[in-house]
Copies of this chain bind each other. A is one copy, B any other.
């Protein structure tokens, strides 16, 4: 695991992003990243085995949704906000508003 595959911005495909986000755990991961900018793998509020999380991070990374930065023994994960916004303008807003709407009705 020396090189972590990340697709180029232009290579990110909407169907792959949709696939990645259709899974509840991965959707939760993305929502948490929207509030946190950057988190280590262990920094998420998810009580799941490391191997399970690792699998989901890989799917999100390979679909272009997140970026993984290596630092020491940790991997710092962030949403590819700029890349996603330039590739699919408005998509993140849709996700953000959908999540907000499901929690509470904000004016």
Copies in the complex: 2
The answer to whether B94 touches A14, judged by C-beta atoms less than 8 angstroms apart, is yes
Secondary structure dominating the interface of A = helix
The answer to whether B21 touches A95, judged by C-beta atoms less than 8 angstroms apart, is no
Known contacts: A15-B24, A15-B27, A19-B18. The answer to whether A94 contacts B98 by CB under 8 A is no
**Which residues of chain B have C-beta atoms less than 8 A from A24's C-beta?**
15
A95 to B18, CA, bound (A): 11
**A44 interface residue (CB < 8 Å to B):** no
A47 to B44, CA, bound (A): 45
**A88 interface residue (CB < 8 Å to B):** yes
**Which residues of chain B have C-beta atoms less than 8 A from A95's C-beta?**
14
**Which residues of chain B have C-beta atoms less than 8 A from A15's C-beta?**
21-24, 27
Nearest Cβ distance between residue A98 and chain B, in whole angstroms?
4
**What is the interface of chain A, defined by CB distance below 8 A to chain B?**
14-16, 18-19, 21-24, 27, 88-91, 93-95, 97-98
